[in-house]
Amino acid sequence: MLSHLPSLGVGLGFRQPFKSDLFLNRQQVDFLEIVAEHYLDASWQKQQELELLAAHFPIIPHAINLSLGSAEGLDTDYLRKLAALIKQLNPPWWSEHICFTKAGGVDIGHLSPLPYTQEAVEVLCRNIASLRRWIDVPLILENITYMVTVPGAEMTEAQFLAEVVERSDCGLLLDITNLHTNAVNYGYDVHEFLQQLPCDRIVQLHFVGGHWHDGVLIDSHSQSTPVEVWQLMEEVVARVPVKGIILERDENLPPFAELTKELQKAREISRSYLC
């Protein structure tokens, strides 16, 4: 199923400040990724914005608050709204994070890591099976950054990601900036990490730069892409023909021309490995 997904090229995570420049540079942006929550319970203005974007670009919804790792199951009201948005856009795939954002009915406000255990795998797979009753569009799952590691691991993070996507029959949204950030902060080898992933499951990539704070690399989406992330991108696309690559820039926004330069560099890396 994943091999038959269309190749969308290189695109941008849409943020409202990009809107004017985006339409002045349409030929340099192949597709857009939207934060799904920005368009749930959308105002008339946001709905008009979404319709305008969808009329000119392929759109991939990227959800952040489904909380696939929550042991108590999924919020059906939220799921109903998300399903309606995805039906409206009819994308080739959509994405969420391998994490939890709610516990005991409380929204904790950030993407929290799961323990790397079989029990957590079971919870994720059960929730994914449940959401598929609402949404039949292919789902791809993203690796997150984390400031703490949860004790009790029964496997490595890479083995956990592999187990989740294989068992749930999902694709992988490999955030190579997140991978680089975690490797720096926790001292593991990114190349060994990649060797443990099922490369045929990688559908999409995220990339951007972060910043240092008190000796810790922060995934702030606030800087241009560092050389280490470009090298990781090259390593991944040399192994697998990914279907899409998205630049996620959220803070310290530069002139739009700087973003298009990064998009072009990603496009050149991707094209250099096309058969």
Give me the DSSP letters along 69-135.
T-TT---HHHHHHHHHHHHHH--S-EEEESSEEEETTEEEEEEEPPPSSHHHHHHHHHHHHHHTTT-
> Quick one: tokens of 89?
């856009």
Give the CA angle between residues 219, 10, 212 to the nearest 5°.
Answer: 15
For 221, the enclosing helix (H) or strand (E) is strand 216-223
Distance CA 262, CA 107 (A): 35
CA separation, residue 45 to residues 35, 41, 49, 109, 238 (Å): 16, 11, 6, 26, 42
The residues spanned by each domain of the chain are 2-272
> Quick one: tokens of 273?
């490995």
Average pLDDT for consecutive 10-residue bins of the chain (275 residues)?
Answer: 92 95 96 97 94 97 97 95 98 97 84 96 98 97 93 95 98 98 95 95 96 90 95 96 96 95 97 77
Architecture of domain 2-272: Alpha-Beta Barrel (3.20)
**What three-state secondary structure class fits 58?**
coil
The pLDDT of residue 275: 52
Distance CA 91, CA 3 (A): 16
For 230, the enclosing helix (H) or strand (E) is helix 227-239
The pLDDT of residue 106: 78
pTM exceeds 0.85 for this model: yes
Burial of 268 by CB count in 10 Å (0-12 exposed, 13-18 middle, 19+ buried)?
exposed
Give one word for 34, left, alpha or beta, with left for phi > 0 and alpha for psi -120 to 50. beta
Distance CA 148, CA 111 (A): 12
Residues 138 and 92 sit within 8 Å (Cβ to Cβ)? yes
